[in-house]
Structure 1
């Protein structure tokens, strides 16, 4: 039984009612939500704080939204944590961002285990510092038998690089005779991507008011419903997550043809 009071007991959003939660739960829930977590730096700047303060506050939001998504019945939550372009930021900021997974998972891992959340990643993690990789791998191993929400961190991820790498792997398989070029279709190509074991996102949320995809899951988002919100990531709350899900539930998903039976 879904415990509504447990879900919202630490929320600042006092206006969230049990009836609203119940209404959302009675409609199709997006099974895979992807989030571009934007606005940490601007949040800090508005408060005359260093940018790293915004990233630290954003980490708290990750914890809050992960717990809310899990209890609402979302199956996969993919978070754009660090892009291939983020290496261009000042070294001090990048160094701090590399420490965040260790801090976040170190503090939050017991709750993830308790709440049956499974941690996974996508992206080229070989470039990450060893301490960061160890923290991430430890969380993956500790939660590998969990079968609740999949918490998928996009770390050192860029969609164009992912697609190019997929093309290289696919070409090699054709060249070596492991794949017939006539068998290449959407499904075949998807199996060469980093998300091959995950369904495509049903809903993409981007915070901070920016209206772009920023090289995030370009192939996978082909028929994803998009939700842009003018709220900085550290201020994104359970209420905002519910706003996005309710917006999703009011839409008809056609995938270029008939309305999907899954979300009727």
Structure 2
């Protein structure tokens, strides 16, 4: 495998980039912080919602490429708990966009055998958005080619708080023994259960922080930061991120495999 940075592959076509992927080294679960929609719109003198709309096309391309490559899980950060602090008008437009996406894409998700699930504190979403989330979850629950998890009204710390509360309730009712709580137990109480932890996290738009996303699950995840704004993050950028991922040796705290122990 080439040890040049993935940026050295800029001259290659999408087909040539795909040929560089090694199927057995592909991540099983990719998580994405979709950042830069607002800036993309502002650079074009458009309202911020136009950037969010264009970003949906990037989501579509990610789903398609995951299906083509056999990547089993894709988790995207669509709306954080902190996003509730945005202007009311933008929040309303985002919720309308979410409903539009679910009502129009549902058939396509079903056709592609994609299981949709939302994680986060959904009770804070407007009732109509909650309705579309539940409907889409129910109609795709049996599908199994790709798990598409969408984080809505989500916060990583809130997820851990909710897990702790539920565990305490289960200890009180006797369904869980306090002395037996370990990392595996905690994982079972997280929103993302039963998904494996992400192998790769991609964040677009040049920001280099994880912004309260999947705090527990990202403990050993490879992090990939790109300056590309989310609406411009398409097949080619995803392929470059996957090539970059394959060049890394994942050790999970162990010594490199080339070093004698």
The answer, yes or no, to whether TM exceeds 0.5 is: yes
Q: Label 1:259 to 1:195 Cα distance change in 2 as closer, same or farther (>3 A).
A: farther
Structure 1 gaps, min length 5 = 1-12
The C-alpha deviation readout for 1:65-111, integer Å capped at 9, x for no partner, is 11112211110000000111100000000001111222112222222
1:46-67 Cα shifts (integer Å, max 9, x gaps): 1111111111111121112111
Contact 1:25 1:72 (C-alpha < 8 Å) held by counterparts: no
Pairwise CA distance, 1:172: 2.5
Root mean square deviation of aligned Cα:
1.8
In structure 2, the CA distance between the partners of 1:259 and 1:184, relative to structure 1 (3 Å rule), is: farther
What's the TM-score, normalizing by structure 2?
0.90
Structure 1 CA distance for aligned equivalents of residues 39 and 164 of structure 2: 37
Q: Contact conserved, 1:124 with 1:155, CA < 8 A, in 2?
A: yes
Match of 1:90 in 2: 87
Q: 4+ runs of 1 displaced by more than 4 Å?
A: none
Q: Give me the whole-angstrom Cα distance separating, in 1, the residues matched to 2:168 and 2:70.
A: 38
Q: Give the counterpart of 1:195 among 183, 192, 196.
A: 192
What is aligned with 1:137? 134
For 1:67 and 1:26, locate their aligned partners in 2 and report how far apart those are by CA, in whole Å.
16
Q: Which residue of 1 aligns with 2:249?
A: 252
Shift, 1:35, TM fit: 0.2
- Check the 8 A contact 2:17/2:240 in 1, yes or no: no
Please say if 1:173 is aligned against 2:170.
yes
- 2:36–2:229 CA contact under 8 A, matched in 1: yes
What's the offset of the Cα at 1:31?
A: 0.6
* Structure 2 stretches lacking a partner, 5+ long: 1-9
**After alignment, is 27-36 or 15-24 more displaced?**
15-24
Retained in 1: the 8 A contact 2:204–2:225?
Answer: yes
CA distance in 2, matches of 1:230, 1:236: 10
Alignment partner, residue 238 of structure 1: 235
SS of the equivalent of 1:77 reads strand
Q: Is residue 50 of structure 2 the alignment partner of residue 43 of structure 1? A: no
Q: Could you tell me how far 1:114 is from its partner in structure 2?
A: 1.6
Indicate the residue corresponding to 1:182 in structure 2. 179
Distance 1:259 1:191, change over 3 A: farther
- Residue 25 of structure 1: CA displacement? 4.5
1:126 CA displacement: 1.4
- Length-normalised TM-score, structure 1: 0.89
Classify 1:74/1:172 alpha carbon distance in 2 versus 1 (closer, same or farther; 3 Å): same
3-state SS, counterpart of residue 174 of structure 1: helix
Equivalent position of 2:6 in the other structure: none
Cα pair 1:31 1:202 within 8 Å, conserved:
yes
Question: What SS does structure 1 have at the residue aligned with 2:20?
Answer: helix
Q: Distance between the aligned counterparts of 2:148 and 2:116, measured in 1?
A: 5
Could you say what secondary structure the match of 1:194 adopts? coil
